Amino acid sequence: MEKPLYTISAQDLCIGYTRKKQEIKVHDGLNFQLLPGQLYCLLGPNGVGKSTLIKTLLGHIPALSGSIYINGKDLKKLSAEQMAKTASVVLTDRVSSGNLHVADLVALGRVPFTNWAGRLAEADLHIIAKAMEATKINYFKDKPLSEISDGQRQKAMIARALAQDGQLIILDEPTAHLDLINRHEIMQLLRTICKTENKSILVITHDLEVAIETADELWLMQCGEPLIQGSPEDLIVSGKIQHLLTSPGLYFDIHHGRVRSTYPDTVTTIHGPAALCQWFLAALYKAGLQHLGSDYEIHLFEEPFKVMVKTPTGGFEGETIRAAVDFLLMAEDERLK
């Protein structure tokens, strides 16, 4: 069987910078491959080297050592033009737009392919139209960039990358500054593009929950540690996802797929359906009430929601968590007097 042609493959890669002939290593021993039709999300704490890795993969800075192959060709031997036809990048920086309209921005994706006069051929116009359709931005294509929202700008940038029509698209935090709905929409859009157009897409993100929902593979980068790679589901069930959470106060809640604060073991038992108990516990923890004694009793009921609390000095019955927590705060004040 023929070996798959990787869009990118890197061996023993060392990334970093050179200052006054001195090497500043940011990360080394990196080995990875990107396949067509796969969405990869790269996660890691601030300063670990994610942007440095992207810059290296795009040939903007040289690798300190190791090798990078793009579509089977040594990156060092690719010209800037060949690279522009293979890889497109969407960075976080705002485009300084002047009077540019959305459709003009998307058309810029064709620059590597147009003739010296920059004239767009019929085929270019077709690709631009296809890119705008795939990203569903036609309804605002005639607007100036200064008059569109952050979410719309991000979609327009993705359309531009798509119009560039390379095998590889790299995006640096495409969901930063976006609301929850737009974060999901952008990542789902990338997933769709990746599958329908058979692109390799690499996304740097701090958005673990959306990455888990959309990525085929997560790459977890930690200082001085090998890159952890795998499907989100495998990394969760194997516990490797915890590598991302180096702070002692955080853990990954496997049941709910969320990062949570660690709750001390010595909390009061709460009786009731698990999902309700989870949220009551969250409210207790937020109020600093995680150390209630064993002589406190909390019962939760659903449909309709009701909470009953018994303390050594009294009781409470109500319909909101907030009222119950306020009662417990008063009871604790009394007890400590």
Residues near ligand ATP (CB under 6 A) are 17, 24, 26, 44, 46-52
Strands (E), 128-283: 168-172, 200-204, 217-220, 228-230, 250-253, 258-261, 270-271
Nearer to ligand ATP, 43 or 157 (CB): 43
- Alpha carbons within 13 angstroms on the beta-carbon side of residue 35 total 8
CA dist 79 and 112 (Å) reads 12
What CA–CA distances, in Å, run from 336 to 101, 141, 306, 312, 332? 65, 64, 27, 13, 6
Neighbours of 176 (CB within 10 A): 14
State in angstroms the smallest separation of the CB of 48 from ligand ATP.
4
State in angstroms the smallest separation of the CB of 89 from ligand ATP.
14
CA dist 45 and 238 (Å) reads 21
Nearer to ligand ATP, 123 or 223 (CB): 223
CA dist 119 and 113 (Å) reads 10
State in angstroms the smallest separation of the CB of 26 from ligand ATP.
5
State in angstroms the smallest separation of the CB of 310 from ligand ATP.
48
What CA–CA distances, in Å, run from 20 to 17, 23, 24, 61? 10, 8, 10, 15
Nearer to ligand ATP, 49 or 109 (CB): 49
CA dist 186 and 323 (Å) reads 38
Nearer to ligand ATP, 26 or 309 (CB): 26
Nearer to ligand ATP, 57 or 292 (CB): 57
State in angstroms the smallest separation of the CB of 183 from ligand ATP.
17
Helix (H, G, I), strand (E, B) or coil at 39: strand
State in angstroms the smallest separation of the CB of 293 from ligand ATP.
43
State in angstroms the smallest separation of the CB of 123 from ligand ATP.
36
Inter-residue contact 136 to 123 (CB < 8 Å): no
Inter-residue contact 298 to 323 (CB < 8 Å): no
Nearer to ligand ATP, 47 or 314 (CB): 47
Nearer to ligand ATP, 16 or 232 (CB): 16
